[in-house]
A and B are shown apart, each in its own frame.
Chain A
Amino acid sequence: MKRFSAFALLREALRGHADWPPYWRTPEPKSSYDIVIIGGGGHGLATAYYLAKEHGIRNVAVLERGWLGGGNTGRNTTIVRSNYLWEESAALYEHALQLFETLSEALNINVMLSQRGVLNLAHTPGDVREAIRRVHANRLNGIDAEWLDARQVKEFCPIVNVSPDVRYPVLGATLQRRAGVARHDAVAWGYARAADALGVDIIQGCEVTGFDISANRVRGVRTKKGTIAAGRVGIVAAGHNSVLAAMAGVRLPLQSHPLQALVSEPVKPVHNCVVMSNAVHVYVSQSDKGELVMGAGIDAYNSYSQRGSFHVIEHQMAACLELFPIFSRLRMMRSWGGIVDVCPDASPIIGPLPVEGLYMNGGWGTGGFKATPGSGHVFAWTLAKGEPHPLARPFGLARFASGALIDEHGAAAVAH
């Protein structure tokens, strides 16, 4: 791996940038790996990286049906935060945020983490109670959280409309100052580049079509490029987790929905933080290119189509204009949808499946990007040792029978 540095940049600039090597190799699959990871998004690539880096397991393949980071990793609104309600989630998402804080150094790539602060607005007395409860819960778990009243919200984010004369006035907001945004593509590319340098085979255009299972133990995966034997297999396929699990005869409590987002034309810096609102429903930040990045709630129906219905966008725009009248003449450039696998309690499923040797890391629903480093880190531990990482243990499939659900519909902040 050719390391990035100011010196390397200068040297390559003098050579006309002709000698930069590709970030990763394009290997053909071997006939056998210690661990096969299905899904070349951020979570799968992070898993592969930590397997090689922290557990010394380098005979690993990441199989990606399309292209690397082309699913939800490249389609999200790039928000990073850890202000979840319950102890289990707080620990997991905070683990991820702390890894994010040193990720650029660890991967030798600029993931452009910008801890500009995330506001979660409250619009009703019920919202206010819920938000203040969450601030206290966060602080008890060592996560930075503050409650701002409407005047303080206006100071922190001058363009937000805090007039009392709107249908859902802003009564206040929670603020996590360490939260913000990161460059989603750089996270995927950085993990891929670092994992590849440690010997991980990243195989794109390799769709999994089934599993070899005998005596209730997974022996390998069948793919469009042939059968690959595997000691352990991790399913990290986001919206398609149910489809893959069904190939192994496993039923999951997941439903796949489209989640839409859109960006405006680029404008000069106008929005200095991230604003999220559950009640009127929109979340908005400004990218480094100047586009306003906005996310919607999920479409109600199940779908694998990576597109949603227009009325969802309409609703989201109405919410945006109520909060930010300044955007009323802004043109929207692009909208798109990703397929998110939503769990009944809005928390992920991490751990072993009923088939021996088969594991999953999914159900991240509408908020997986922020968890990418932590998710990969605990899942690599889980795959390497064959038992759940302590932070992942509460997130096993068994919680649906035991009833120990981790209800994060409030903190997930995206309507579903």
Chain B
Amino acid sequence: MLLIRCPWCGPCDETEFRYGGEAHVARPREAQSLDDAAWAEYLFMRNNPRGWFRERWVHAAGCRRWFNVERHTVTHEIRLTYSGTRVDPMSELDRAPSPNSK
């Protein structure tokens, strides 16, 4: 069971949230000009790392706002939650892994 810190409501039980998959998958601006392979890349291809992963959650039973979480997919440790409007959060975190990370 995860304890997720909503940026607006604070730490809440996982059952209050719904999952939104990988974060920062931007819809292509000129979608009509893409070929099938590029559209498939946007629609279906996803990162699926064993390690730190930035993902979207919505506080469905709370404030109902979307936000992003950086969570480790082996330890389930959450080291960052941030508003979904930030494009590239703290890239320096990639160079300073948590002691728990593998």
- Chain A residues near B (Cβ < 8 Å): 240, 242-243, 246, 251-256, 300-305, 309-311, 341, 344, 400-403
Whether, in the assembled complex, B89 has its beta carbon less than 8 Å from a beta carbon of chain A, the answer is no
Q: Which residues of A contact B46 (CB under 8 A)?
A: 251, 253-255
Least distance between B14 CB and chain A CB atoms (Å): 6
Q: Give Cα A387 to B73, complex, Å.
A: 35
Residues of chain B lying within 8 A (CB to CB) of residue A311: 1, 14-15
Closest 5 CB pairs of A and B: A242-B48, A253-B44, A300-B19, A401-B40, A401-B36
Q: In this complex, what residue of A is CB-closest to B57?
A: A301
Report A-chain residues with C-beta under 8 Å of the C-beta of B45.
Answer: 251-253, 400
Q: Contacts A302-B73, A311-B1 hold; do A254 and B48 have CB atoms under 8 A apart? A: yes
Rounded to whole Å, the gap between the CB of A243 and the closest CB of chain B is 5
Contact of B53 among A302, A309, A402 (CB under 8 A): A302
Q: Nearest-CB distance from A21 to chain B (Å)?
A: 37
Q: Could you tell me how many residues of chain B have their Cβ less than 8 Å away from some Cβ of chain A?
A: 27
Among B14, B73, B74, contact of A309 (Cβ-Cβ < 8 Å): B14
Extra contacts besides A305-B73, A400-B40 (18): CB < 8 Å: A242-B49, A243-B48, A251-B45, A251-B47, A252-B45, A253-B44, A253-B45, A255-B46, A256-B48, A256-B50, A256-B73, A300-B19, A301-B2, A305-B75, A305-B76, A341-B48, A344-B44, A401-B37
Residues of B within 8 A of A254 (CB): 46, 48
Q: Which residue of B lies closest to A310 (CB)?
A: B1
> In the bound complex, do residue B74 and residue A305 qualify as a contact, i.e. CB atoms below 8 Å apart?
yes
Residues of B within 8 Å of A252, CB to CB, are 45, 48
Contacts of A242 in B (CB 8 A): 47-49
Q: How far is the CB of B59 from chain A (nearest CB, A)?
A: 14
Whether the Cβ atoms of A243 and B44 lie closer than 8 Å is no
B65 at the interface (CB under 8 A from A): no
Rounded to whole Å, the gap between the CB of A297 and the closest CB of chain B is: 13
Q: Which residues of A contact B36 (CB under 8 A)?
A: 401-403
In whole angstroms, what is the CA distance A305 to B39 when docked? 31
> Taking the nearest CB of chain A, how far is it from the CB of B9, in angstroms?
19
A72 smallest CB distance to B (angstroms) = 16
Q: Are A255 and B1 in touch, CB under 8 angstroms? A: no
Interface hub of A252, A301, A304, A309 (most chain B Cβ within 10 A):
A301
- Chain A positions within 8 Å of B44 at CB level: 253, 344, 400
Residues of the A chain whose Cβ atoms lie less than 8 Å from the Cβ of B53: 302
Bound CA–CA A253/B22 (angstroms): 12
For A309, the closest partner residue in chain B by CB is B1
Indicate with 1 or 0, residue by residue over B54-82, a CB within 8 angstroms of chain A CB atoms.
01000000000000000101111000000
Nearest Cβ on chain B to A93's Cβ, whole angstroms: 23
**B48–A309 CB distance below 8 A:** no
A400 surroundings in chain B (CB, below 8 A)? 40, 43-45
Is the Cβ of B14 less than 8 Å from the Cβ of A303? Answer: no
State the Cβ distance, B36 to closest chain A Cβ, in Å. Answer: 4
Q: Which residues of A contact B1 (CB under 8 A)?
A: 309-311
Task: Name the residue on B nearest A243 (C-beta).
Answer: B50
Cα A185 to Cα B71 in complex, Å, equals: 34
Q: Is B18 an interface position by the 8 A CB rule? A: yes
Which residues of the other chain, B, contact A301 by a CB distance below 8 angstroms? 2, 19, 55, 71
Ordered by A's residue number, 24 sampled pairs between the chains whose C-beta atoms are within 8 Å are A243-B50, A246-B49, A251-B41, A251-B47, A253-B44, A253-B45, A253-B46, A254-B46, A255-B46, A255-B48, A300-B18, A301-B55, A302-B21, A303-B76, A304-B74, A310-B1, A311-B15, A341-B48, A344-B44, A400-B43, A401-B36, A401-B37, A402-B36, A403-B36
Least CB separation from A305: chain B residue: B74
Q: In the complex, what residues of A have CB within 8 A of residue B55's CB? A: 301-302
Nearest opposing residue in chain B for A345, CB measure:
B44
In the complex, are the beta carbons of A302 and B48 less than 8 A apart?
A: yes
A401 partner residues in chain B, CB cutoff 8 A: 36-37, 39-40
User: Cα distance A242–B44 when bound, in Å?
Assistant: 13
Cβ B15 vs Cβ A304 within 8 A: no
Q: How far is the CA of A347 from the CA of B1 in the complex (A)?
A: 28
Nearest Cβ distance between residue B17 and chain A, in whole angstroms? 9
Most buried by A among B18, B19, B45: B45
CB distance from A250 to the nearest CB of B (A): 10
Chain A residues near B73 (CB-CB < 8 A): 256, 302-305
Q: How many angstroms from the CA of A305 to the CA of B53 in the assembled complex? A: 14
Least CB distance from B94 to A in Å reads 16
How many Å lie between the Cα of A316 and that of B36 in the bound state? 40
Min CB distance B39 to A, Å, is 8
